[in-house]
Structure 1
Amino acid sequence: MTDVHDDLSDALPEVDPDLLELAGSVFADADATGTGLDTALWDNLEQTGLARLAVAEDAGGSGGTLLDLAAVLVEAGAYAARVPLAETDLACRAAAGAGLDVPAGPLTFALDRAGALAVAGDTVSGTLARVPWARSAAAVVVLTGGSVVVLDPAAATVVEGTNVAEEPRDTLTWDGARAAVAAAPEGAAGEFALRAALWRATLLAGAARGALARSVGYAGEREQFGRPIGRFQAIQQQLALAAAEVAAGGAAAESAARVVVRDGIAAPTAELAVASAKVRTGEAATAVARIAHQVHGAIGFTREHDLRLTTTRLWAWREEDGTDGQWAARIGELVLAAGPDGLWPLVTA
């Protein structure tokens, strides 16, 4: 029987190994232990063309593919990079789709499905909660109602907040602020919800890989009863379980990216693939974080230990851009809508 994942791999171009090597070296050299935006890393990403990798060249990007960015985001997650790579890509795509310009520098994106912002001509009022990286962004791109809005965070009242990984999640309030406003393309809200979930899944896949790598390294160094704990069968079994979760989550995220490239973000197959990837990487996040801390023992829970850089992101990111439960419910809706005759074609594409 032919494997579906193999079919997808054969049908689409592969990511350049040199790009992965570049991304790995850039993220490995960065300081992941601080809080807030890593400005040195962001400058390095801009100089190497990774900051806006999948943005078209005529829009100020590097013209890479969605698969390129997915692979780089996995590396960013593995090294707990303190930069808004996913948010900048979403912001650039939303603005470009509406014919709006964005400034240079790190950007952030918000999907205002609740209608928290009121748009009147070129002025905007309202409050957005938990906007990623807002305090450090050159602009906030918001998809609200039928409009795409580009706002200056400096014109807002900012209440700083964080997620459990201490990444910025700020509340912004604008009162009659001037903004660049344009009509959003039809279906943009659903599209960007999927894109955000896809990027979050790839970050989760990377963070799980990073947590496993730290755990394997620790098990090879920490000695108990005269030998490394990694030689004990119980530890080996737990690491094997974690490795299986990392592989499953990574395969789900990669497959979803490939389906999106092949079929387009608006295709039902793409929605099913992205929803499945977000659920599967969320499940992997729970299992891998638990096993990683069990292997490390009490030391792994301390703030001084670098394990928390990946595990806190696993806990935070599984709840962002849609929870496991929300995306699982969406999978159920897609299955019911396909019906008995459409389910198999939907799953196998």
Structure 2
Amino acid sequence: MNDELRALVEEIGRRSFDARVGRHGLPERFDSELWQVLETSGLTRLTTEQGADPADAAVVLGGLARYAAAVPVAETDVLATWLAGQADLPIPADGPMTVAIADVDPSGDRVTGTARDVPWPDAGPVVLAARSAAATFVAVLAPGSTTSTHNLAGEPRGDVPFDLSSTDVVRLSPGVADELARRGAWARCVQIVGAFDVAARLTAAHIGERVQFGRSLGTFQAVQHSMANLYGEVETSRAATNLATYAAVDHGFDSPEADYAVTAAKVAVGRAVAPVTTIAHQLHGAIGVTLEHQLWLATMRARSWADEFGSTGWHATRLGRMALAADDPWNVVVGPPPRP
């Protein structure tokens, strides 16, 4: 299925990107035409309604990231729809959705607060996970936010206030919020690797075409070393993300194996963002920093996504604690810790 799915996503992504040339900006606007095509193709709720596994979802998310798709597919399928299903809360049968995560300290029956930096807050219903030490409170909120901002790539972000005293709320275990954050971290790793692929492809093409001092840039040894470093970071990130994907396929996102693998992937991918994006822009020269160039669509997404669902430093600290807690830290270095 993966090959057919990959070809389908590639075709849809390319057509959408070509149709939006010159229309990307700050902020990005929700691509309703692309969403309609994806929804008709059954790709907007692939795992929650079509029974696909994380490997198939990774094909969709990575493919759409390569074409800077302005649609919240990860938020809708991997996160919001899944979370609503865990709580058995009614949600629309179609259309985009998003998810919000907030830490709360419940006072009596009231659960209030504000979810910060919610992705695509106006695109559709917001499925909220308000987490405390003892529980995860899940509710479906109307779309909207108190702020109108965007990340470096122009994707909408906003703060969503909530008061669940007058809303249908389902109380679940704290582990649900943990799995939700893990799913989000995994999705961002997949998307960043997709953005890396674009940065690498564009840079390789540029240094092959650009002539300097009578020679193409790609013939200079320093440029070749830079490209080797770039490719090394990309492939390290891909390997770590593939490990996380298949840990989720084999054991589920709620497993210790997936917990370890996603944490390691978020560290590997997050640390690669700076060298990959820096090298790509350096080798492109001045044209690589303009809004009109495709490169910034990839690199700015990678830089923005790296800090979502836990920063690189947060995951690195967590990975270190896993090693310290293990009976034999070497087991953590060479593979996932055994099940308790």
Aligned length: 323
Counterpart position of 2:208:
220
**Aligned letter for 1:27?**
G
Q: 1:117 to 1:174 in 2, by over 3 A?
A: farther
CA contact (8 A) 1:260 1:270 kept: yes
CA contact (8 A) 2:323 2:332 kept: no
Q: 1:343 to 1:266 in 2, by over 3 A?
A: farther
Q: What TM-score do you get using the length of structure 1 for normalisation? A: 0.86
Q: How large is the RMSD of aligned CA atoms in angstroms?
A: 2.2
Unaligned runs of 5+ in 2: none
**Aligned letter for 1:38?**
D
1:307 counterpart (292, 295, 314): 295
Deviates more, 1:157-166 or 1:279-288: 157-166
1:129 counterpart (112, 116, 127): 116
CA distance in 2, matches of 1:148, 1:119: 16
The list of structure 1 runs, each at least 4 consecutive aligned residues, that deviate by more than 6 angstroms after superposition, is 116-119
CA contact (8 A) 2:200 2:230 kept: yes
Seq. identity, %: 38
Counterpart position of 1:54:
47
CA contact (8 A) 1:116 1:127 kept: no
**Aligned letter for 2:39?**
E
CA contact (8 A) 2:137 2:169 kept: yes
1:230 counterpart (218, 224, 235): 218
| Structure-to-structure mapping, 1:58-207, within 5 angstroms | 61-89=49-77, 90-103=79-92, 104-112=94-102, 114-115=103-104, 120=109, 125-136=112-123, 138-145=124-131, 146-154=136-144, 157-174=145-162, 178-185=166-173, 187-207=175-195
Per-residue deviation, 1:204: 1.0
CA contact (8 A) 1:78 1:211 kept: no
Tell whether 2:270 aligns with 1:277. no
CA offset digits 1:231-286 (Å, max 9, x no partner): 22222221121111111101111111101221222332221110110111111211
Per-residue deviation, 1:118: 7.7
Counterpart position of 1:12:
none
Q: What SS does the aligned partner of 2:140 have?
A: strand
Q: 1:343 to 1:262 in 2, by over 3 A?
A: farther
CA distance in 2, matches of 1:344, 1:292: 35
CA distance in 2, matches of 1:81, 1:45: 11
Counterpart position of 1:17:
3
CA offset digits 1:155-200 (Å, max 9, x no partner): xx53111111111111123467853322224511111111111111
CA distance in 2, matches of 1:296, 1:228: 13
CA distance in 1, matches of 2:300, 2:209: 23
Unaligned runs of 5+ in 1: 1-14, 56-60
Q: What SS does the aligned partner of 2:57 have?
A: helix
CA contact (8 A) 1:208 1:284 kept: no
**Aligned letter for 1:127?**
T
CA distance in 2, matches of 1:27, 1:75: 7
CA contact (8 A) 2:234 2:276 kept: yes
Per-residue deviation, 1:50: 0.9
Deviates more, 1:44-53 or 1:167-176: 167-176
CA distance in 1, matches of 2:105, 2:202: 41
Per-residue deviation, 1:318: 1.2
CA contact (8 A) 2:179 2:254 kept: yes
Q: 1:345 to 1:167 in 2, by over 3 A?
A: closer
CA distance in 2, matches of 1:128, 1:308: 28
| Structure-to-structure mapping, 1:325-340, within 5 angstroms | 325-340=313-328
Counterpart position of 1:37:
30
Q: What SS does the aligned partner of 1:180 have?
A: coil
**Aligned letter for 1:153?**
P
CA distance in 1, matches of 2:257, 2:50: 28
